[in-house]
A and B are shown apart, each in its own frame.
Chain A
């Protein structure tokens, strides 16, 4: 069964300046364990689609299922973890306290909370920072903590909305590598929004190229790259060929708009 399945999905926002067609005719299937990147210029609806999957926006047409349920049911069944653009850690909670937050809300028993906080901290390489407050951490470490927070309750689906967009290139490369390792270890399904072509190609098994006005899918690329990806794979001919195809897709989408 597909983790995410969209059939002629449509979403129109009513705004003060008239309707905005944010998503048009989205057809997409995502299988378990895939790493899917959504790439496109701003206004192409990539974040909106992710929010639809999360049940934070309601589509105005078509069908969308998450684990065979409606997005709202999936949200209430805590089917996914969501990582936002900004880390958004609560400043009054320690790193450990922030990771406990979803566990508290979902009512995990005390011992289980403790175990999961320690586990996820180790998973994102932040052991020893449990008692620190967010302001004591760098931006990259804060974003790692927010990933840990999304992983804490062990949902099979991870939705990430430009999580590394605000970080510098060097930190970003490292976190990309770590994210791949994490994905390999946990086997989760990843939906990853980005506007960086190298990031999308490096991370994904499937790249969804989107274009704006109205937001739609202009190309879906299944990556032939192996699962094992050192950073220097970005210099390989295959990598460059995929990046080229993504760029072409983006350009075609812009011209059509």
Chain B
């Protein structure tokens, strides 16, 4: 044993208490988070083996290896797990590097993602930055329109009983229709009057994002309690004064919660809007093209690009929320 005993002078000295505490705090959250990510990635790699087994065994057979069952037609009805167990060597060796795997391995997706963002000029037709921007512009336009519409509807619903009873049910009904069913109709109708490109996608985007904003804002604008409303009545405040000074500021925390849901829904709307037209640009088009040609790596990288984009948008809204609410004293 070479370590000094704890009772020795200077034992345990080396890090100041504060640094040690901070390290402990960081490791207290970072390590579990990394562990969860590692577990997910590990699970993904594991899943690749049976998912890609048919192809792996076929490649091994073509390479002259002994496989069982020996022919492709015999193997057709054998499950992926059974096939992997019967041919462990090729299943393990060939699962993670196929050209068109059923399930691409994480590193393949990462490489494709890197290659088609950083590795290409952004003007290239294969660049995910290019396609991402096409989708993002429709998302932002639709999100802006949806948010504005949602706030206006909420204000109307809170101030008018007629609107509450006539608009709210329709808003709810609108969200029960599958977007995949209504998107083609929106695109066809708009195309027939000569509107195409960004606008139809933005319309679908707005259609999905206005609803959470309506629900959140109605709740938020109604959040002041009877006492706070009475207080303003004792001042003889007008309806407009009550709105601007009480209802609107009180609704802001609710609005931000809705915006986070709304922006993610907007992105989904824009992508769905790109699917039925056979569009050639946008993340939706990349997904569609990938599935036409069996380019699973391309599909997955487009999926991840969309997920990263959504995460960024939500993070931006969270940042604005934190700054604004802290300045308003609503966050300590």
**Chain A residues in contact with chain B, CB under 8 A?**
54-56, 75-76, 78, 80-82, 84-86, 88, 90-94, 101-102, 104-106, 133-135
* CB pair A88 B231 closer than 8 Å: yes
| Residue pair B235, A106 in contact (C-beta under 8 Å) | yes
Mostly, the B contact residues are: helix
For A56, list chain B residues within 8 Å (CB): 230, 233-234
B305 CB to closest chain A CB (Å) equals 38
State whether A86 and B227 are in contact (beta carbons under 8 Å apart), knowing that A91-B330, A133-B329 are contacts in the complex.
yes
A-B contact pairs, 15 of them (CB 8 A): A55-B233, A75-B236, A76-B236, A84-B227, A84-B231, A91-B329, A92-B249, A92-B250, A92-B329, A92-B330, A93-B329, A101-B245, A105-B232, A105-B241, A106-B235
> In the complex, which residues of chain A have a beta carbon less than 8 angstroms from the beta carbon of B252?
92
A135 contact from B233, B237, B249, B332, Cβ within 8 A: B332
Q: B304 to nearest A CB, angstroms?
A: 39
B67 to chain A, nearest CB (A): 70
Report if B228 contacts A (CB, 8 A).
yes
Whether, in the assembled complex, B246 has its beta carbon less than 8 Å from a beta carbon of chain A, the answer is yes
Contact A102 B235 (CB under 8 A): yes
Q: Most chain-A Cβ atoms within 10 A of its Cβ — which of B227, B228, B234, B252?
A: B234
A94: which B residues are within 8 A, CB to CB?
Answer: 329
Question: Are the C-beta atoms of A105 and B245 separated by less than 8 Å?
Answer: yes
> Known contacts A91-B330, A92-B330, A133-B329: does B234 contact A105 (CB below 8 Å)?
no
Find residues 212-244 in chain B having any chain A CB closer than 8 Å to their own CB.
227-228, 230-237, 241
Residues of A near B232 (CB, < 8 A) are: 105
Once the chains are docked, how many angstroms separate the CA of A104 from the CA of B228? 16
Contacts of A90 in B (CB 8 A): 228, 246, 249
Chain B residues with CB under 8 Å of chain A are 227-228, 230-237, 241, 245-246, 249-250, 252, 328-330, 332
Of the listed residues B231, B237, B250, the one surrounded by the most CB atoms of chain A closer than 10 A to its CB is B231
Q: Is the CB of A82 within 8 A of B231?
A: yes
CB distance from A127 to the nearest CB of B (A): 20
List of A residues within 8 angstroms of B250 by Cβ = 92
Is the beta-carbon distance between B230 and A84 smaller than 8 angstroms?
yes
Smallest CB gap from A101: residue in B: B245
A105 and B230 contact, CB distance less than 8 A = no
Tell me which residues across on chain A come within 8 A of B230, comparing CB atoms: 56, 82, 84
Shortest beta-carbon contacts, A-B, top 6: A133-B329, A92-B328, A82-B234, A105-B235, A76-B236, A105-B237
How distant is A99 from chain B, measured CB to nearest CB, in Å? 12
- Chain B residue contacts of A82, Cβ below 8 A: 230-231, 234
Chain B neighbourhood of A54, CB < 8 A: 234
Residues of B contacting A93 with CB < 8 Å?
329
Distance A54 CA – B252 CA, assembled complex (angstroms): 30
Q: Given A88-B231, A90-B249, A105-B245, A78–B236 Cβ distance below 8 Å?
A: yes
Does B249 lie within 8 Å of A104, measured CB to CB?
A: no
Inter-chain CA distance A84–B234, complex, in Å, is 11
Instruction: Give the chain B neighbours of A78 by CB distance below 8 A.
Output: 235-236
- Closest residue of chain A to B249 (Cβ to Cβ) is A92
**A34 to B145, alpha carbons, bound, how many Å?**
58
Q: How far is the CA of A105 from the CA of B249 in the complex (A)?
A: 16
B83 → A minimal CB distance (Å): 63
A94 to B328, CA, bound (A): 9
- In the complex, which residues of chain A have a beta carbon less than 8 angstroms from the beta carbon of B246? 90
Complex interface: chain B residues within 8 A of A85 (CB)? 227
CB-CB under 8 A from B241, the residues of chain A are 105
A78-B235, A88-B231, A91-B330 are known; give 18 further A-B pairs, CB within 8 A.
A56-B230, A75-B233, A75-B236, A76-B236, A78-B236, A82-B231, A84-B231, A90-B246, A90-B249, A92-B252, A92-B330, A104-B245, A105-B232, A105-B235, A105-B236, A105-B245, A134-B329, A135-B332
A135–B326 alpha-carbon span in the complex (Å): 13
Closest to A85 in B: B227
Bound complex: CA of A82 vs CA of B250, how far in Å?
Answer: 21
How distant is the Cα of A93 from the Cα of B236 in the complex, in angstroms?
A: 20
Give the residues in chain A near B234, CB-CB below 8 Å. Answer: 54, 56, 75, 80-82
CB distance from A82 to the nearest CB of B (A): 4
Q: In the bound complex, what is the Cα–Cα distance between A101 and B242 (angstroms)?
A: 11
Please, which residue of chain B has its CB at the minimum distance from the CB of A92? B328
- Report Cα–Cα, A90/B329, bound state, in Å: 10
Residues of A near B227 (CB, < 8 A) are: 84-86, 88
**A210 shortest CB reach to chain B, Å:** 21
Inter-chain contacts of A76 with B (CB < 8 A):
236
